[in-house]
């Protein structure tokens, strides 16, 4: 177990470092710069700013300056000097968590039961209804579903604020938007996994021994059926926590996703590089958690470095 954790930690550090390198290099290759869109920007003024903030140095030197300052927690944004990248992440990430976690719970709490119902009744009206809902929720982007939910619950019923992050319940509408979209993925995976598990030999053996159908589903089939779903939820959770920028834009939420996009648009190399590395670190952490959960559910998988 310890060897596995150490191995995954080292592999994860390599992944995060390479993510920083690729992100930094790609942004540097893109046209423009952090000061090019300033109103009073002239070629001379831009050259002075680039020299002042070290943006005229060789590319490897610039990267390791960013990398070193990021490790020390003193890295400042390229676009807005005086703002530390760690402060931006510390301020915006909890806001993303506040609606992403309920959205994940909505997706699991809705998708798993209806997916199980569809798997237990294949070809029936319940199965077709669940698959229709799953298809619609997957195909409906948050750019469309978000305004519809805001129109119903915000403008018509006036239960929640349409936009902004002011009241304690402002997480509800964005969480509902994301939760309904991902509930379709969860339902399809739960249905497919449970259908495959119910066709295995040990399930037929349990039925031959007289075990009840409810006990077969809950105690035997559902654990194995959830393995593909758990594998899917790892990177999905990381993505919902950091890059649900469309939902944040629809509801005007100051979460991390908007900084993720604005950093790339404004050519803020420091902020874009660190947010990409933060996203990669979350994916590595959630994938490690998924491996541990899968090995706990099915010991035959094991933890191998």
Q: Which sequence spans correspond to the domains of the chain?
A: 1-305
Q: State the pLDDT at residue 81.
A: 65
Mean pLDDT: which of 151-155, 232-236, 248-252, 260-264 is highest?
Answer: 151-155
- Could you tell me which residue, 11 or 57, shows the higher pLDDT? 11
Tell me the mean pLDDT in the region 80-86: 74
**Is the confidence at residue 68, as pLDDT, over 60?**
yes
**Is the confidence at residue 39, as pLDDT, over 60?**
no
pLDDT band at 263 (very low <50, low <70, confident <90, very high): confident
**Is the confidence at residue 143, as pLDDT, over 70?**
yes
- Of 16, 22, 23, 25, the closest CA to residue 58 belongs to 25
Q: State the pLDDT at residue 42.
A: 62
Of all residues in the chain, the percent with pLDDT exceeding 90 is 1
Tell me the mean pLDDT in the region 113-127: 86
Q: State the pLDDT at residue 80.
A: 63
Q: State the pLDDT at residue 54.
A: 63
Q: Which residues contact 258 (CB under 8 A, 6 or more apart)?
A: 92, 245, 248, 249
Q: Please, what CATH class does the domain formed by 1-305 belong to? A: mainly alpha
pLDDT band at 36 (very low <50, low <70, confident <90, very high): low
Q: CB of 33 within 8 A of CB of 49? A: no
Q: CB of 97 within 8 A of CB of 255? A: no
- Could you tell me which residue, 70 or 297, shows the higher pLDDT? 70
Q: From CA 199, how far away is CA 194, in angstroms rounded? A: 9
Mark 172-187 as b/e (b = at least 16 C-beta within 10 Å).
bbbbbbbbbbbbbbbb
In this structure, of 80-84, 119-123, 126-130, the range with the lowest mean pLDDT score is 80-84
Of all residues in the chain, the percent with pLDDT exceeding 70 is 86
- Could you tell me which residue, 213 or 184, shows the higher pLDDT? 184
Q: State the pLDDT at residue 51.
A: 65
pLDDT band at 243 (very low <50, low <70, confident <90, very high): low
pTM flag (> 0.85)? no
C-alpha distances out from residue 175 to 169, 198, 233, 241, 247, Å: 10, 33, 16, 11, 9
Q: State the pLDDT at residue 34.
A: 59
**Is the confidence at residue 19, as pLDDT, over 70?**
yes
pLDDT band at 298 (very low <50, low <70, confident <90, very high): low
Mean pLDDT score across all residues of the chain: 80
């Amino acid at each position: 177990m310890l060897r596995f954790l150490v191995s995954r930690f080292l592999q994860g550090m390599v992944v995060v470092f390479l993510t920083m390198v690729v992100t930094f290099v790609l942004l540097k290759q893109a046209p423009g710069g952090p000061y090019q869109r300033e109103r009073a920007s002239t070629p001379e003024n831009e050259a002075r700013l680039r020299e002042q903030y070290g943006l005229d140095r060789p590319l490897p030197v610039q990267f390791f300056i960013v990398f070193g300052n990021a490790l020390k927690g003193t890295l400042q944004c390229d676009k807005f000097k005086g703002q530390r990248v760690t402060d931006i992440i510390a301020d915006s990430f909890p806001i993303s968590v506040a609606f992403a976690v309920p959205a994940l719970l909505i997706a699991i709490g809705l998708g798993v039961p209806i997916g199980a119902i569809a798997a237990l009744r294949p070809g029936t009206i319940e199965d077709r209804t669940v698959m229709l809902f799953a298809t619609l929720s997957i195909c409906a982007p948050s750019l469309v579903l978000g305004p519809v939910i805001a129109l119903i619950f915000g403008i018509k019923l006036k239960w929640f604020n349409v936009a902004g992050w002011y009241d304690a319940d402002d997480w509800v509408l964005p969480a509902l938007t994301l939760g309904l979209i991902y509930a379709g993925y969860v339902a399809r995976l739960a249905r497919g996994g449970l259908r495959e598990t119910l066709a295995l030999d040990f399930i037929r053996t349990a039925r031959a021994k007289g075990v009840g159908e409810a006990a077969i589903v809950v105690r035997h089939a559902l654990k194995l059926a959830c393995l593909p779903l758990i594998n899917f939820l790892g990177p999905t959770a990381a993505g919902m926590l950091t890059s649900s920028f469309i939902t944040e834009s629809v509801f005007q939420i100051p979460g991390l996703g908007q900084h993720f996009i604005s950093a790339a648009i404004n050519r803020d190399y420091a902020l874009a590089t660190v947010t990409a590395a933060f996203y990669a670190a979350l994916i590595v952490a959630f994938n490690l958690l998924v491996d541990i959960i899968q090995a706990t559910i099915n010991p035959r998988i094991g933890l191998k470095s």
